[in-house]
Amino acid sequence: MDRNYKLLGLYPVKIWLHPEVAVSITINIARSVEEAKIQEEKGEALIVKSDREQEAASLAEAAIKKVEAEEKARLAAEAAAEQPA
C-alpha cells in the first residue's frame, strides 16, 4: 500500500501481485463488523453521512431562525406604521 489509511470509509487500493499483475481491491475501514457491512451496502462511510446530516440540520436551523427574525421585524414595522404619531 502506498499510504496510511486511518479514517473510516471505503478506499480503492491497487496491489501488485507480480510486476505484470496488479489487482484493485477496496478496503473497508470501520469500527465494527456491523458498520463495515452497512458501509459496504451503501458504498460510503457512515461517519461522512452523519457529518453531512449534521451540517444540513445546522443550515436548516439557521435558515429557520433567519426567517423568524425577518417575520418578527416585518410585524414590528407594520405595528409601528399602524400607530398614530
**pLDDT tens digits for range 30-57:** 989 999 999 989 888 776 656 677 788 8
Q: Which three cell numbers stand for residue 73?
A: 421585524
Give me the DSSP letters along 26-82. EEEE-SSHHHHHHHHHHTS-HHHHHHHHHHHHHHHHHHHHHHHHHHHHHHHHHHHHH
Distance in angstroms between the alpha carbons of the first and the last residue of the chain = 78
pTM above 0.75, yes or no: no
Predicted pLDDT at 4: 84
For residues 51 and 78, give the distance between their C-alpha atoms in angstroms, rounded to a whole number: 41
Average pLDDT value for the chain: 86
- Confidence label for 82 from pLDDT (cuts 50, 70 and 90): confident
pLDDT for 43? 84
Compare 69 and 55 and report the one with higher pLDDT. 69
Note the pLDDT of residue 74.
Answer: 92
